[in-house]
Structure 1
Amino acid sequence: MHLILTGATGLVGAGVLHNMLAMESVSRISILSRRPVAMVEGHDKAKVIIHKDFKNYDDALLEQLKDAQGVVWALGVSQNDVNKTEYYEITHDYTLAAAKAFSTLHPEKPFTFVYVSGEGATQTPSMFTPTYGRVKGEIEASLFEFHKANPNFNVYNVRPAGVDWRHHPEIHPFIPQQAMYKRTLLPLIDAVYKPMMSPTGPLGKVLTELAMSKGAPLEGKDIYMDGHLVSNVAFRRMAGL
């Protein structure tokens, strides 16, 4: 199976990539990235496609992706690292542009788009909702509406919470240096409220398996958006945590 991945040099994306590389059922990985991805060195089934403009996909690029059956869209940025306009463009516009482009790869056959959202995203924001929650909720809704208009284009919005890399040593050489506040908070959250934890190993496995699926609606009281929104509690259940 041929899968697409973005955000491979980030925390979630690195966890996904490690799983994809280890899974025999994933025969080919096309990684869209602005820069080289060190983790794939020596892995023949992975190809890094240097892509600078995530709002545009030309015919030559789509030709390389034409038989892909799914994508894990882990590309993202912290709202603290860019201004609101840039955050909206990266989080909403890039994602929707990719969805529209990938829907043309083989419209007569299913394609599954797995969007890495986050706990705190909401489609009903209040005046107190932070920027990331408002914008991620908006792109979740945009993807779902696009799916309804294009039935063979399937969507899962997945909301990890406290992304925990500590017990996934295979990715440690390839991820950015994590902030001290994360190093301090994660053990505390892990000790007092495990349902908010999202370990990168199991998370990468679940995200990959969703991308490999036919995109059928999921079931469970912790699944929303007509079976297409996976809360962190649902992810943990699916991962056996």
Structure 2
Amino acid sequence: MKVIVFGASGMVGQGVLRACLDDPAVTEVVAVVRKPLKRSDQRLREVAHQDFTDFSAVAGELAGADACFYCLGVSSAGRGEAEYERVTYEYALAAARAVTAGNPELTFTYVSGEGTDSSERGRSAWARIKGRTENALLSMDMRAYMFRPGWIQPVHGETSRTRWYRVLYSLTGWLYPVLRRVAAGHVTTTESLGRAMLAVVRLDGGGPHILHSPEINRLGA
């Protein structure tokens, strides 16, 4: 199985990359990056690219994949709506068009988040934009799955690239066992996310196409 990973340097992407490299069924991992990952594996190939609105220059590298795990994202904090929409919506749609060109059987998984607004009419800009992105991806000719995790606990050394997220996790990590007991339907781990993404590829387009933490944890068990 050939897979493509966007956002492999982020916390979720790190977990997905680990899951891919741990799975013997994955024969090739193509990570589309702006900067080197500083990780070595004979199945991992990094494709350096800067313009995430146009992937025509690396189209050959993205051809023939079985799955694409899109984990790229940014916080809406401190960003205007136009900037957030460009990174969230435009980048994701450009990636989806590139990897599905002539390949409608590809499985595309997109990480949005709990609270995403499918109606695109709510008060929260980030939720509307995420919802618009999900709706656009689900309408494309591919096997699309939207992942809406709540709290994501990093494991196996995965870390966020956002400093204040790292601080938050360092202060609240001890709460995860408690959250698993009192709010099990709203929490997951980077490990479960990675395994669940691989699991949906094996559904061959079946199953629910919007997955929350309970479905993610079941598939990623």
Give the distance between the partners of 2:122 and 2:106, measured in 1 at CA.
Answer: 36
Gaps of 5+ in 1: 219-226
Q: Please say if residues 47 and 61 of structure 2, whose CA atoms lie closer than 8 Å, have aligned partners that are also in contact.
A: no
Q: Please say if residues 31 and 44 of structure 2, whose CA atoms lie closer than 8 Å, have aligned partners that are also in contact.
A: yes
**Residue 54 (structure 2) aligned to one of 44, 56, 78:** 56
Partner of 1:46: 44
Give the distance between the partners of 1:190 and 1:144, measured in 2 at CA.
Answer: 34
Give the distance between the partners of 2:87 and 2:118, measured in 1 at CA.
Answer: 18
CA shift for structure 1 position 235: 1.1
103 and 198 in structure 1: CA distance in 2 versus 1, 3 angstrom threshold: same
Helix, strand or coil at the partner of 1:179 = helix
Q: Which amino acid counterpart does residue 87 of structure 1 have in structure 2?
A: Y
Helix, strand or coil at the partner of 1:234 = helix
Q: Does 1:228 align with 2:209?
A: yes
Give the distance between the partners of 1:135 and 1:187, measured in 2 at CA.
Answer: 32
Q: Does 1:181 align with 2:181?
A: no
**CA offsets per residue over residues 8-42 of structure 1, 9 Å max, x none?**
0101000000111111110101100111012x32x
**CA offsets per residue over residues 40-81 of structure 1, 9 Å max, x none?**
32x1110110111111011x5111222211100001100014
- Normalising by structure 1, what TM-score? 0.82
Partner of 2:24: 24
**Residue 138 (structure 1) aligned to one of 132, 139, 143:** 132
Partner of 1:68: 65
Give the distance between the partners of 2:158 and 2:172, measured in 1 at CA.
Answer: 20
Partner of 2:10: 10
CA shift for structure 1 position 82: 2.6
238 and 193 in structure 1: CA distance in 2 versus 1, 3 angstrom threshold: same
Q: Please say if residues 199 and 220 of structure 2, whose CA atoms lie closer than 8 Å, have aligned partners that are also in contact.
A: no
Helix, strand or coil at the partner of 1:181 = helix
Give the distance between the partners of 2:58 and 2:103, measured in 1 at CA.
Answer: 14
Q: Please say if residues 62 and 105 of structure 1, whose CA atoms lie closer than 8 Å, have aligned partners that are also in contact.
A: no
Give the distance between the partners of 2:44 and 2:220, measured in 1 at CA.
Answer: 25
Q: Does 1:171 align with 2:145?
A: no
170 and 127 in structure 1: CA distance in 2 versus 1, 3 angstrom threshold: closer
CA shift for structure 1 position 7: 0.5
Give the RMSD, CA atoms, in angstroms.
2.0
User: What percent identity do the matched residue pairs reach?
Assistant: 26
**Residue 204 (structure 1) aligned to one of 179, 194, 199:** 194
Give the number of aligned pairs.
216
Helix, strand or coil at the partner of 2:132 = helix
- Normalising by structure 2, what TM-score? 0.89
Q: Which amino acid counterpart does residue 144 of structure 2 have in structure 1?
A: V
